[in-house]
Amino acid sequence: MTSRRARPIAPGGPVPVGVLGAGTWSTAAHLPGWARDPRVQLVAIADPVGDLAERAAERFGIPHWSRDHRDVIGRDDVAVIDVCTPSATHATLSEAALEAGHHVLCEKPVAYDFRETDRLAAMAEAQGSKTKLGFTFRYAPAMRQLRRLVDEGWVGTPFIFNGYEQNSQFLDPMNPLRQQDPDADPSVLQVASLEGYGAPIIDIGAWLVGAPYAEVVGTMRNFIPERMVRQTGRLQRMNIDDGDIFLAEFGNGAIGSVQTSFVTVGNYPGIEARLYGREGALICRLVEERGICELLHGARPDAVEFSPVPVPADCYPAGGTPAESWRTLFYANLIKDFLDELTGVVEKNEGNFRDGARVQEVINAVEASHRQRRWVSLPL
């Protein structure tokens, strides 16, 4: 047992934040989200590469920057660490932040093995640190409203969930993947889309159905045989999962399907969540089309034609509209939600490391199902 305590945060803030990583997603979504909320004090940022930290500090008005994450984690005037670095570094950096008593926002996945994420979740719970994963899409305003309607009984007993995350990001073989290992054995299909794209929609499935995944059976496929490798600048055989589908049975009797792919034609972010129940059906579509990034439609047994369902203003972050980029809109809502949790506005801590571990466990189970050609029961 640890005797460490989480760093205190005054009710109402200000919440002092240190950010690790000043790359693409940090500057496109995380930093704009923190900067948008008046309860936040951005204190320090670190990135080991060139002048990335210095440039982000200048752009977002952050007083301290460094090339070493230890300079940020070790500060006494920070209480929240935001980990927005390459996926392989998440577990180490989150653990170091928790060891220093911080609350932690981490990009997904915390770790590739669910047991490691569970270990860090337990560590956070023992000391009272709040954690949150970058499950961006459960914070889309239309998805918040879908969940609220489910809680109010709009759908009734849930029967079927269908989830999709797909777009054409890597349809072009010349577009190199960041996270994949170019030295991996080409005879073994490596998990890729299921991990990168599956996590958020797997999370939404259990969250909407209201029960954990109980059994899964799935398959993964490589469609683009050769791909540009960033490290060598050359095309080479990359045996990665470009697309996958799995069926699921949930703990409460509902059933579902999840399909992810980054080589399917269509725009970002490419999420669709459908929930069909005894009393109604709701479909939330998060795809930037014709200048709008989210749609919510519903149908009832007495009006079976799907029609638009309004999303109330309190589902949005300050100044947010469906005409804004999904990157800033959804992430600002994620950060607003974490701040509500950290400052005690709400008594909850949703989308935390424990939820991340359950999602990772499903990914690990679908991979096992594919390799062993059978249904796999959860928990593993």
Ligand X SMILES: NC(=O)c1ccc[n+]([C@@H]2O[C@H](COP(=O)([O-])OP(=O)(O)OC[C@H]3O[C@@H](n4cnc5c(N)ncnc54)[C@H](O)[C@@H]3O)[C@@H](O)[C@H]2O)c1
The one among 15, 43, 52, 357 contacting ligand X by CB under 6 A: 52
Which residue in 86, 312, 319, 379 binds ligand X (CB under 6 A)? 86
Distances (CA, A) of 269 to 131, 172, 248, 266: 24, 17, 23, 9
- The residues with which 106 forms a beta bridge, in sequence order, are 83, 133
Q: Does 78 help bind ligand X (rule: CB under 6 A)?
A: no
> H/E/C letters for each residue in 341-378?
HHCCCCCCCCCCHHHHHHHHHHHHHHHHHHHHCCCEEC
Give SS3 for 95.
helix
Q: How many residues bind ligand X (CB under 6 A)?
A: 23
User: Cβ of residue 174: shortest distance to ligand X, in angstroms?
Assistant: 18
Residue in the block written with tokens 């023992």: 126
Residue with tokens 């930290």: 53
Instruction: Between 22 and 192, name the residue whose CB sits nearer to ligand X.
Output: 22
Give whichever of 249 and 294 is closer to ligand X, judged by the CB atom: 294
> Among residues 4, 13, 14, 25, which is the contact residue for ligand X, using CB under 6 A?
25
- Cβ-based nearer residue to ligand X, 181 or 279: 181
Q: Does 80 bind ligand X (CB under 6 A)?
A: no
341 to 360, contacts with ligand X by CB under 6 A? Answer: none
- Out of 33, 37, 85, 369, the only residue in the binding site for ligand X (CB under 6 A) is 85
Contact between 190 and ligand X by CB under 6 A: the answer reads no
Whole-angstrom Cα distance, residue 330 to residue 347? 21
Output the CA angle 352-214-200, nearest 5 degrees: 40
- Residue 274 in tokens: 């459908």
Taking CB under 6 A as the rule, does residue 21 contact ligand X?
yes
What does the alpha-carbon distance between residue 276 and residue 162 come to, in Å, rounded to a whole number?
9
**Smallest distance, Å, CB 200 to ligand X?**
7
Gap between the Cα atoms of 43 and 188, Å rounded:
44
Q: Does 37 bind ligand X (CB under 6 A)?
A: no
Identify which range of 19-27, 186-194, 314-322, 343-351 contacts ligand X by CB under 6 A: 19-27
- Which stretches of the chain bind ligand X, using CB under 6 A? 20-26, 46-49, 52, 69, 84-87, 89, 93, 107-108, 134, 136
